[in-house]
Amino acid sequence: MGMLNLAVTFWICLVLVAYNYVGYPLVIFLLSVLSQAKSDLLFLFHRGGRRCTPPAQYFPKVAVLMSVHNEEAVIQAKVKNTFEAAYPPDRLAFLIGLDAPSDSTADLVGQMDFDRLRVTHFKDRRGKLAVLTSLAEQTSAEILVITDANTRLEPNCIGNLVRHFADPKVGAVSGEESRMPSPGSDPAAEALYWRYESALKLLENRLDCTLAGNGSVLAVRRSLFRPQKQSIVEDLQIPLEIRLSGYRVIYDPEAVAFEEIAPTLSAQFARRVRIGAGDYQTLFANLPCLNPLRGMLAFCFFSHKVLRWLAPLLLLVAFGSSALLAGHRNFAILLAAQGAFYLSACLGYLLKKRGKPARLFSLPLHFCSMNLAMLLGLLRYVTGQQRLTWSSTPRQAWHEAPSRGKESGTTSSVTGVPRQADKTDPPSEQAFQST
């Protein structure tokens, strides 16, 4: 009986992981096809407008909010990029909160001469969400656009985000964050995973089940920006609260922003550990979202988010169960297959350590490092080690970002002062050394 229980446990864990990564995308793809077919039939019978066109002159006042710690490498380029937006200048303001920077960020911002730039200095570290909340209280703009210092917005990005708020039922809009390789990074697996996640967001949006956003390109109706809980992953917590209050959250892939992939494996890993801790924080703070009475919202939240966060534990249990059943030929083969997969991830890591591309091992390496980081994030959440403040990943001076659909772009490149991240994070983030 014990062996049967182990076998059942193994297959449950394996099926849940496979469902999360493969089955769920197929399910929502089929549901989106059915939803589109329903929309087409309604159009054929009623000949109504299939899209609601916002008023041509809809230009509400917009305040771009940004929390900044040590961002001397990119801060001036970010300010210039924001004011290059194709949005009426008299309807746009930029509010920056300096979260007790210890580098030259404050001096560099002070050199910028823009009438619509407002800078607030905070002497003590407060954390991103606390700074954003304070900035939001300083503006009467109808729409708030949240962004990051290392994110470049396409000229039409703000306009594309804002257009959706002509519908009073819309509470938040997330744009598309395009990941760009930085010098020293190996973008293959990271870029592929990001496209995979973007596809899921697009399908969920078609089903009106968007619950999260991209924190570097997120627009929110100011009247709804009332964070109830302090969170590390504000781009999940804020849209989640807005959606649960009865307003729509939209994902717009035409509102494009560019962000470089962290240049080293260790920097990527440290970021994932922090986000993992924030994900678990958000999960346990929003358990009512799993109420089946919420219908598709609960289904998508569980299938996409919760199972992804539980995947490291499921993989560990599956490996342990198959190890205990290794006396049986079938499970010995399954154990060997798991071992070969994890070994290929180790080989990819060794190649990266030596400055070589992981190539065929890049996908196993990305998958395993992502789940290991999530596991360490859980440990940090459970032990209370994760703070609301953190050191940003190493920044590099901005390079040109490609325009949407083109090989090269026209986005200006402004150099800054390169810096290294403060080494104040817990030891768990050092599991991967710099490569």
On whether residue 418 sits in a domain, the answer given is no
Q: Are 178 and 99 within 8 A, CB to CB? A: no
Residue 298 lies in a domain: no
Nearest 5°: the CA angle 87, 235, 115 is 35
pLDDT the model gives residue 415:
33
Cα–Cα distance, 223 to 242 (Å, whole number): 10
Judge whether 323 lies within some domain. Answer: no
In this predicted model, what pLDDT tens digit does every residue of 170-212 receive, in sequence order? 999 999 988 877 655 566 677 788 889 999 999 999 999 998 8
Residue 48 lies in a domain: no
- Separation of alpha carbons 287 and 337, rounded Å: 35
Give the per-residue pLDDT at 389. Answer: 62
CB half-sphere exposure, 291, CA atoms < 13 A: 6
| Confidence at residue 186, expressed as pLDDT on a 0 to 100 scale | 61
Would you say residue 33 lies in a domain? Answer: no
Whether 111 maps to a domain, the answer reads yes
Kindly state whether residue 256 falls inside one of the protein's structural domains: yes
The total number of structural domains in the chain stands at: 1
Residue 390, in any domain of the structure: no
72: CATH = 3.90.550.10
- Residues with pLDDT less than 70, the chain: 1, 47-56, 182-188, 263, 388-435
Beta strands (DSSP E) in 109-225 are 117-122, 143-147, 151-153, 170-180, 217-221
How much of the chain is helix, strand and coil, in % rounded to 5? 50, 15, 35
DSSP 10: H
Q: Distance between CA 249 and CA 238 in Å, rounded?
A: 10
Nearest to 201, CA basis, from 255, 148, 250:
250
* Residue numbers of the domain that contains 253: 62-263
| Residue 182 β-bridge partners | none
pTM over 0.75: yes
